[in-house]
Structure 1
Amino acid sequence: MSIKDKLPAGTVLGFGTAPLGNMFRNIPDAEAAATVDAAWQHGIRYFDTAPFYGAGLAELRLGDALAAHRRDDYVLSTKVGRVILDEVEDTSARDLGEKGGLFEFGRPNRMVNDYSADATLRSIDDSLKRLRTDRLDIVWVHDMAQDFYGDEWLAQFEIARKGAFRVLTRLREEGVIRAWGLGVNRVEPCELTLDLAEANPDGFLLAGRYTLLDHERALQRLMPGALAQNVEIVVGGPYSSGVLAGGTHFEYQQASPEILAKVERIRAIAARYGVPVKAAALRFSLAHPATAAVIPGASRPERIAEDQAALKVEIPADFWREMREQELVAANAPLPIDR
Structure 2
Amino acid sequence: MSLKDKLAGSVLGFGTAPLGNMFRNIPEAEAQATVDAAWDHGVRYFDSAPFYGAGLSEIRLGDALSRHKRDEYVLSTKVGRLILDELEDASARDLGEKGGLFEHGRANKMVNDYSADATLRSIEDSLKRLKTDRLDIVWVHDIAQDFYGDEWLSYFETARKGAFRVLTRLREEGVIKAWGLGVNKVEPIELTLDLAEAQADGFLLAGRYSLLDHERALQRLMPKAIERNAEIVVGGPYSSGILAGGAHFEYQKAPPEIIAKVEQMKSTAQRHGVSIKAAALQFVLANPAVAAVIPGASRPERIAEDAAARKEVIPADFWRDLREQHLVAANAPLPVDNV
TM over 0.5: yes
Q: Show the counterpart of 2:2.
A: 2
Does residue 294 in structure 1 map to residue 293 in structure 2?
yes
- Partner of residue 97, structure 2: 98
For 1:334, the aligned partner's letter is P
2:330 corresponding residue in structure 1: 331
Listed one character per residue, the Cα deviations across residues 186-205 of structure 1 (whole Å, up to 9, x for unaligned) are 10100010111111101110
Aligned-residue CA RMSD (Å): 0.8
CA distance in 1, matches of 2:337, 2:198: 33
User: Aligned partners of 1:169 and 1:97: how far apart in 2?
Assistant: 31
Contact 2:90 2:104 in 1 (8 A): yes
1:239 aligns with 238
- 1:294-313 to 2 correspondences below 5 Å: 294-313=293-312
Query: CA contact under 8 A between 1:115 and 1:163: conserved in structure 2?
Result: yes
> CA deviation digits over 1:169-214, x for unaligned, max 9?
0000000000000000110100010111111101110000000000
1:7 shift after superposition = 1.0
Matches within 5 A, 1:188-199: 188-199=187-198
Task: Give the match's secondary structure for 2:336.
Answer: helix
Could you say which residue in structure 1 is the equivalent of 2:253?
Answer: 254
Contact 1:96–1:102 (CA under 8 A) maintained in structure 2: no
Q: Which amino acid aligns with 2:246?
A: G
TM-score (norm 2): 0.99
Kindly provide the amino acid, as one letter, of the partner of residue 4 in structure 1. Answer: K
1:28 match: 27
Q: Which residue of 1 aligns with 2:49?
A: 50
Q: 5 Å matches for 1:1-339?
A: 2-9=2-9, 11-338=10-337
Q: Aligned partners of 2:96 and 2:260: how far apart in 1?
A: 26
Q: Deviations over 1:205-238 (max 9, x none)?
A: 0000000000000000100000000000000000
Alignment partners' CA distance in 2, 1:152 and 1:62: 33
The answer as to whether partners of 2:94 and 2:101 remain within 8 angstroms in 1 is no
Q: CA deviation at 1:146?
A: 3.4
Q: Secondary structure at the match of 2:155?
A: helix
Whether the 8 Å contact between 1:146 and 1:152 is mirrored in structure 2 is: no
The gaps in structure 2 that reach 5 residues or longer are: none
Q: 2: distance between equivalents of 1:265 and 1:147? A: 29
User: Which letter does structure 1 place at the counterpart of 2:35?
Assistant: V
Matched position secondary structure for 1:133: coil
1:239-289 CA distance string (max 9 Å, x none): 000000000100000000000000001001000000000000000000000
Could you list the per-position Cα deviations for residues 151-178 of structure 1 after superposition, in whole angstroms to 9, with x for gaps in the alignment?
A: 1111100000000000000000000000
* TM superposition shift of 1:71: 0.1
- Higher mean alpha-carbon deviation, 97-106 vs 50-59, is at 97-106
Question: What amino acid is aligned across from residue 244 of structure 2 in structure 1?
Answer: A
Matched pairs, number: 338
Q: Is the 8 A contact 2:92 2:100 kept in 1?
A: yes
Q: Percent identity?
A: 81
The DSSP-based 3-state class of the residue aligned with 2:258 is helix
Task: Quote the Cα distance in structure 1 between the aligned partners of 2:251 and 2:292.
Answer: 21
Counterpart amino acid of residue 73 in structure 1: E
Q: Please report how far the alpha carbon of residue 8 of structure 1 lies from its aligned counterpart in structure 2 after TM superposition.
A: 2.0
Instruction: Give 1:2's aligned amino acid.
Output: S
Structure 2 distance, partners of 1:95, 1:63, is 24
Indicate if the aligned counterparts of 1:59 and 1:130 stay in contact, CA closer than 8 A: yes
Q: Which amino acid aligns with 2:34?
A: T
Q: What's the secondary structure of 1:180's corresponding residue?
A: strand
State the distance in 2 between where 1:127 and 1:53 align. 12
Per-residue CA shift, 1:121-146, capped at 9, x if unaligned? 00000000000000000000000013
Separation in 2 of the partners of 1:126 and 1:330? 42
Distance 1:171 1:277 in 2: 40
Matches of 1:334 and 1:199 in 2, distance apart?
28
**How many angstroms apart in 2 are the aligned matches of 1:98 and 1:272?**
35
Counterpart CA distance in 2 for 1:97 and 1:234 is 25
Q: Displacement, 1:338?
A: 2.5
Find the aligned partners of 1:146 and 1:15 in 2 and give their Cα distance.
23
Q: For residues 232 and 137 of structure 1, what CA distance do their matches in structure 2 show?
A: 16
Asked if the contact 1:226/1:232 (under 8 Å) is kept, the reply is: yes
Distance 1:97 1:328 in 2: 28
> In the aligned structure 1, how far is the partner of 2:147 from the partner of 2:240?
16
Cα offset, 1:337, TM superposition: 1.4
Q: Deviations over 1:270-316 (max 9, x none)?
A: 00000000000000000000000000000000000000011111000
Q: State the alpha-carbon separation in 1 of the partners of residues 158 and 212 from structure 2.
A: 32
